Amino acid sequence: MTGSGKEKYMADKQGTLIVISGFSGAGKGTVVKKLIEQYDNYALSVSMTTRAPRPGEVDGVAYHFSTDEEFEKIIAEGGMIEYAGYCGHYYGTPRAFVEEKLAEGKDVILEIEIQGAQKVRRQFPNAVLLFVTAPSAAVLHQRLTGRGTETEDVIRKRMWRAVDESEGIDSYDYIVINDDLEECVKLVHGIVTVSHARPSQNQEFIKTIRQELKDILKGEEQ
């Protein structure tokens, strides 16, 4: 690769939009946290929600907490990439941060549920969709019970929701089985690294090398 070609390739490189969904209790939050700690190419999108903050959740870190009116105004202005209703509240992905970071070449992570994931796919056909799961239903159940923070009723609701979500796994690009956390983080990072080699993310490089090939032949003809 010539110097000029390589520089152009780097300058125009867009990041990958990564959508991470998964069963409650699959450990997707921990996987995302580790990815961000271990590598510097990621930016995590902070969603907006109308649900109340849980103890310890900081505004602007866990979520941007908002009222229904504020949320609806942003929808009307086209400021959300996607949004969904979940348990009586809005959840949505603010557009500006995602587009800015992708343009800077960052790999942007959205940790969202399945309906939102499908909406992102329609708008960003090159997004990479990952579904994170525990290695078995028994392990998932054990993890939910082991937290000790949920009632039996809530655990059953989450297990029923997992039944529904399991029907949608085929619409994802990759399934990531979170058995060993470190292995799981490595796998996700590997998938993202490979995604950078797709022609769709190297359009400027392709244009440059096409031109360079023609230029060399033209030079020889003279």
Residues that bind ligand 5GP (CB under 6 A): 47, 51, 82, 84, 86, 91-93, 111-113, 115-116
Helix boundaries (H) for the chain = 3-11, 28-38, 68-76, 95-103, 114-123, 137-146, 152-166, 181-195, 203-221
Task: Kindly state the smallest distance separating residue 125's Cβ from ligand 5GP, in Å.
Answer: 18
Task: Give the nearest residue (CB) to ligand 5GP.
Answer: 116
Query: For 39-69, b where at least 16 C-beta lie within 10 A, e where not — what string?
Result: eeebbbbbbbbbeeeeeeeeeeeebbbbeee
Question: Which amino acid, 127?
Answer: A
Task: Kindly state the smallest distance separating residue 26's Cβ from ligand 5GP, in Å.
Answer: 10
| Nearest residue (CB) to ligand 5GP, 137 versus 209 | 137
Task: Kindly state the smallest distance separating residue 142's Cβ from ligand 5GP, in Å.
Answer: 19
Both structure tokens of 174:
């990759």
Task: Kindly state the smallest distance separating residue 100's Cβ from ligand 5GP, in Å.
Answer: 17
| Nearest residue (CB) to ligand 5GP, 16 versus 45 | 45
